[in-house]
Amino acid sequence: MADDVGFCLWFTGYSGAGKSTIANVVANELRNRSHRVELLDGDEVREHLSAGLTFSKADRDINIRRIGWVAKVLARNGVATITAAISPYRESRNAVRGEISNFVEVFVDTPLDVCEERDVKGLYKKARAGEIPEFTGVSDPYEPPLAPEIHVSTNDRSVAASAAQVLSWLEEKGWVRAGPAPRDPN
């Protein structure tokens, strides 16, 4: 196993599915195992790299291309790159896949009703009230991956178990060193 294998873990799923939470646990575990890691969280990228973009399909596609370009540069330089963005359109995700060596699509599969129950940011409530146009799962579609490398169903497993599933896949590929199982964040 080469210590500098770069790859991109592309976490996708509804808002509130657990993408960022699981991605953060995976990132911390990889750092604990001495891997170079960069986490590109969708909310942070929108604030710093894609400020001014709307949630129209065209602007979402631009946002995903920007995230993809940064992920490609990092991965080709040996960084374990993790993205956590809704990325609702299959075509956009597949375009990014075509640009990045060692691209790993991680579908965080959480039913919409569960995401709405979680709704930690109150976004679904606002979307249902018509206050947020073009909201994924409410007034805009989400196209689930057809063949993700990793399919994480969060209904029946903890955050730690979800992160362990991702890490196990990477270990089996020989891209990361084995380590202890992650713990659930507090």
Mind listing the domains of the chain with CATH numbers?
7-173 (3.40.50.300)
Which residue is listed with tokens 């409530």? 125
Instruction: Give 115 or 156, the one with higher predicted confidence.
Output: 115
Tokens 């602007």 identify what position? Answer: 59
Least trusted range by pLDDT, from 99-108, 114-123, 161-170: 114-123
Distance CA 134, CA 138 (A): 8
- Give pLDDT tens digits for 151-164: 999 988 899 999 99
pLDDT for position 2? 47
Active site residues: 87
CA angle 138, 143, 149 (to 5 degrees): 135
Q: Which range has highest mean pLDDT (51-55, 82-86, 137-141)?
A: 82-86
pLDDT, position 85: 92
Give pTM, 2 decimals: 0.92
4-41 pLDDT, tens digit per residue, is: 789 999 999 999 999 999 999 999 999 999 999 999 98
- Coil, helix or strand for 140? strand
Return the sign of the alpha-carbon dihedral for residues 127, 132, 133, 135.
Answer: negative
Cβ partners under 8 Å of residue 8, min gap 6: 71, 72, 74, 75, 81, 82, 83, 100, 102, 103, 104
Nearest partner of 146 among 90, 86, 102, 99, judged by Cα: 90
pLDDT of 186 reads: 62
